[in-house]
């Protein structure tokens, strides 16, 4: 499961190509799924294939914490405990980062609550745009715990991992209904090899716009 795989070349043309009749570089995509589902790995592969930036809010916060910024100091304890940083702070972080994006993007780790999803809609409406798709990566819970503990990050102790999963179920899972109702949701079986998951994602993206 943890093998280093190259993204498959089929399904979509390489960066700079088109997908579902549109330039791949304009796609605005959210990766949704529990912690440990492999979103970070997939985000990198997909972003490279499509030619769009992968934006991980967890990574942005970790960078802030490492740099010792005011924001970093404020969020460090929350991150170590497995809780969520407040929606207002996250809105600032995401708004600032998206302002640097000309076209498409792949968001990994945002939104994590319904108010965050509403904020994202609002930010995009201001740019006269909307999301193209939401990829939901599904993995059984015990596999998530196993994978996350194997990853060995500082906030990857078992009690913290379980806390993050609880927060996911309570705060983030409602987004499945939110995006499902907007017909943006694509379910991906994340309990497969890295390459198989990537190719399911590319297949899902190939159908964008076909259902509306
Ligand atoms: P991740 O790298 O996505 O697992 O994020 C690591 C930690 O950063 C999470 O456990 C949260 O404490 C915090 N975090 C990242 N993204 C968000 C978000 N969208 N809302 C609230 N907290 C977040």
Tell me, using a 6 A CB cutoff, whether residue 205 lines ligand 1.
no
Beta carbon of 163 within 6 Å of any ligand 1 atom: no
The answer to whether the CB of 85 is under 6 A from ligand 1 is yes
Q: How far is the C-alpha of 142 from the C-alpha of 173, rounded, in Å?
A: 17
Delimit the CATH 3.40.50.300 region(s) of the chain: 18-53+104-205
Establish whether residue 194 lines the binding site of ligand 1, counting it when its CB lies within 6 angstroms of any ligand atom. no
State the Cα–Cα distance between residues 95 and 120, nearest whole angstrom. Answer: 8
Ligand 1 close to Cβ of residue 164 (< 6 A) = yes
DSSP state of 26: G
Residue 179 host element (H or E): helix 174-181
| 77, 84, 165, best to mutate for ligand 1 pocket (most atoms within 8 Å of CB) | 84
Q: CATH number for the 18-53+104-205 domain, one of 3.30.70.1070, 1.10.3720.10, 3.30.450.40, 3.40.50.300?
A: 3.40.50.300
Distance between CA atoms of residues 66 and 1, nearest Å: 30
3-state SS assignment for residue 72 = helix
pTM of the full predicted structure? 0.90
Cis bond upstream, residue 111 (ω within 30): yes
List the pLDDT tens digit at each of the 212 positions of the chain.
444 445 444 445 544 588 878 888 999 999 999 999 999 999 999 999 999 999 999 999 999 999 998 899 999 999 988 899 999 999 999 999 999 998 899 999 999 999 999 999 999 999 889 999 999 999 999 999 998 888 878 788 889 999 999 999 999 999 999 999 999 999 999 999 999 999 999 999 988 765 43
Tens of pLDDT, residues 102-151: 889 999 999 999 999 999 999 999 988 999 999 999 999 999 999 888 88
State in Å: Cα 59 to ligand 1 middle: 8
């Amino acid at each position: 499961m943890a093998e280093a795989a190259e993204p498959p070349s089929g399904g979509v043309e390489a960066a700079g190509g088109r997908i579902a009749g549109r330039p791949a570089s304009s796609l605005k995509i959210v990766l949704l799924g529990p912690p440990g589902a492999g979103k970070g790995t997939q985000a990198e592969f997909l972003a490279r294939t499509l030619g769009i930036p992968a934006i991980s809010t967890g990574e942005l916060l970790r960078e802030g914490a490492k740099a010792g910024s005011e924001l970093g100091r404020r969020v460090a304890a929350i991150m170590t405990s497995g809780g969520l940083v407040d929606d207002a702070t996250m809105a600032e972080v995401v708004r600032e980062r998206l302002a640097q994006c000309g076209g498409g993007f792949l968001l990994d780790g945002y939104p994590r609550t319904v108010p965050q999803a509403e904020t994202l809609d609002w930010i995009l409406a201001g740019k006269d745009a909307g999301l193209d798709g939401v990829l939901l990566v599904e993995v059984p819970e015990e596999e998530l715990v196993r994978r996350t503990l194997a990853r060995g990050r500082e906030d990857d102790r078992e009690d913290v991992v379980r806390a993050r999963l609880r927060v996911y179920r309570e705060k983030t899972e409602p987004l499945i209904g939110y995006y499902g109702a907007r017909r943006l949701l694509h379910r991906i079986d994340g309990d497969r090899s890295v390459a198989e998951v990537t190719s399911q994602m590319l297949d899902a993206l190939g159908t964008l716009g076909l259902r509306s």
